[in-house]
């Protein structure tokens, strides 16, 4: 077997760390997974334990019973540690960005993986992974805090980046721009005046500030009011599956990538 493409990095992970993203994947891509003939999902860089891959598998099986999930790790010791947890429809194997699988995946998730690489490499790996997707497939690439209460992820199609999603538990931030430290590698160094991502996060903070009176009804109401305010000047999708109150009330906001692209 050729050497896997990429490098071993810290394996930090944890129970339910990626639940916010799993929930979004189920809501936004569940139907496509259900409709696909033999839906294959890759969890790339699952870390020191099989946990988040098993959680993804369980959640996806709830909406797409035919889904097959493969966890891919570049560290052989982490593959060996996960193997005992294999079951029908869930397997673990050694590999990297080359994705050692036999058919194109409908969905690839790579969470807390690309942050360890330099920005030009991150763009390149996005392109490589997008080039491996099945038609209509999606790459979900993101970063979260250690406990998963703050996360930002991008949704990419074979054509490139399509969406960016901000997600936070209501007690895990004091203003929306606290999420800046979870931006994808391709954006994190762009959060400076003159860049769209900086303008967006500044406007989100402003919307949060003017929505302070809604805080009397709880942080969720304040978030909902901020998103409504933001959607006056930013192209916030307002209908399911990407937008609308049912998504926003979870402490989530999805935007077209083009709105913040560098």
Ligand X SMILES: C[S@@+](CC[C@H](N)C(=O)[O-])C[C@H]1O[C@@H](n2cnc3c(N)ncnc32)[C@H](O)[C@@H]1O
Give the residues lining the site for ligand X (CB under 6 A).
Answer: 6-13, 17-18, 44-47, 52, 72-75, 78, 96-97, 111-113
**Min separation Cβ 162 and ligand X, Å:** 21
**Min separation Cβ 43 and ligand X, Å:** 7
Among 81, 19, 22, 71, which Cα is nearest to 48's? 81
Place of tokens 């129970």: 15
**Min separation Cβ 33 and ligand X, Å:** 19
**Min separation Cβ 221 and ligand X, Å:** 30
Closer to ligand X by CB, 183 or 224: give it.
183
Name 107's Cβ contacts closer than 8 Å, sequence gap at least 6. Answer: 25, 29, 33, 39, 41, 42, 137, 138, 139, 140
**Min separation Cβ 67 and ligand X, Å:** 18
Closer to ligand X by CB, 54 or 227: give it.
54
Please answer whether residues 86 and 92 qualify as being in contact, where contact means their C-beta atoms are separated by less than 8 angstroms.
Answer: yes
Name 57's Cβ contacts closer than 8 Å, sequence gap at least 6. Answer: 41, 67, 69, 89, 90
Closer to ligand X by CB, 15 or 170: give it.
15
Closer to ligand X by CB, 108 or 230: give it.
108
Closer to ligand X by CB, 13 or 186: give it.
13
**Residue whose C-beta lies closest to ligand X:** 6
H/E stretch holding 81 reads helix 76-82
């Amino acid at each position: 077997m050729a050497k896997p493409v990429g490098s071993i990095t810290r394996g930090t992970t944890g129970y339910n760390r990626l639940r916010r993203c799993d929930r979004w994947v189920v809501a936004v891509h569940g139907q496509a997974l259900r409709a696909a003939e033999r839906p294959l999902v890759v969890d790339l860089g699952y870390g020191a334990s099989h946990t988040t891959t098993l959680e993804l598998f369980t959640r996806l099986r709830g909406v797409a019973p035919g889904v097959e999930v493969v966890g891919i790790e570049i560290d052989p010791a982490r593959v060996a540690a996960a193997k005992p947890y294999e079951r029908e429809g869930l397997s673990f194997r050694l590999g990297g960005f080359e994705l050692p699988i036999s058919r194109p995946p409908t969905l690839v998730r790579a969470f807390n993986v690309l942050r360890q690489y330099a920005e030009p490499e991150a763009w390149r790996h996005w392109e490589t992974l997008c080039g491996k997707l099945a038609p209509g497939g999606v790459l979900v690439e993101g970063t979260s805090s250690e406990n998963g209460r703050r996360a930002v992820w991008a949704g990419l199609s074979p054509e490139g980046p399509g969406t960016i999603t901000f997600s936070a538990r209501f007690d895990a931030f004091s203003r929306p721009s606290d999420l800046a430290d979870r931006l994808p590698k391709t954006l994190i160094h762009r959060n400076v005046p003159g860049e769209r991502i900086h303008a967006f996060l500044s406007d989100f903070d402003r919307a949060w500030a003017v929505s302070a009176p809604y805080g009397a009804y709880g942080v969720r109401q304040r978030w909902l009011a901020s998103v409504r305010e933001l959607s006056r000047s930013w192209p916030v999708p307002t209908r399911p599956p990407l937008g609308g109150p049912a998504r926003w009330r979870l402490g989530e906001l999805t935007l077209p990538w083009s709105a913040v692209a560098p």
